[in-house]
């Protein structure tokens, strides 16, 4: 299948249960997680930049461990790759993206 610019495949569900991915999530190892997304889901750095809104150069820095991501950046990565709730929990994040998680008062997650 030919890839077009701007086209990003959905992360296969089976990726999230791979032992190496689970270990990266439990260790909160974003560099390893990004490398595994490239290797097993076929995401390029530009694809990751496109789905997360993070510059490609910054993605590269995270992958090479030249820079540590902030919590906000980790959430943007999780949101961008549509990370399942159980994986978000392993990473130490709320199970749902911030925009989807609202309490009855509408002020966010409790």
The answer to whether the predicted template modeling score (pTM) of the entire model surpasses 0.85 is no
What beta strand segments (E) does the chain contain?
none
CB 19 within 8 A of CB 26: no
Predicted local confidence at residue 14, as pLDDT:
94
pLDDT digits (tens, 9 = 90+) for 87-105: 999 999 999 886 654 443 4
Q: Is the pLDDT of residue 8 over 90?
A: no
Q: What is the mean pLDDT of the chain?
A: 85
Residue with the larger pLDDT of the pair 16 and 3 = 16
Q: Judge whether residue 54 has pLDDT over 50.
A: yes
Q: Which two tokens stand for residue 49?
A: 């930049």
Q: Tell me the mean pLDDT in the region 6-28.
A: 89
CATH of domain 14-90: 1.10.260.40
């Amino acid at each position: 299948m030919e890839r077009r610019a701007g086209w990003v495949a959905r992360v296969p569900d089976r990726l999230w249960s791979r032992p190496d991915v689970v270990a990266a999530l439990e260790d909160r190892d974003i560099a390893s997680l990004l490398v595994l997304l490239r290797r097993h889901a076929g995401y390029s750095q530009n694809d990751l930049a496109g789905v997360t809104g993070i510059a490609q150069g910054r993605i590269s820095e995270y992958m090479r461990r030249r820079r540590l991501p902030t919590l906000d950046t980790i959430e943007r990565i999780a949101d961008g790759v549509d990370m399942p709730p159980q994986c978000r929990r392993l990473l130490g994040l709320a199970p749902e993206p911030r925009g989807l998680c609202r309490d009855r008062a509408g002020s966010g997650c409790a």
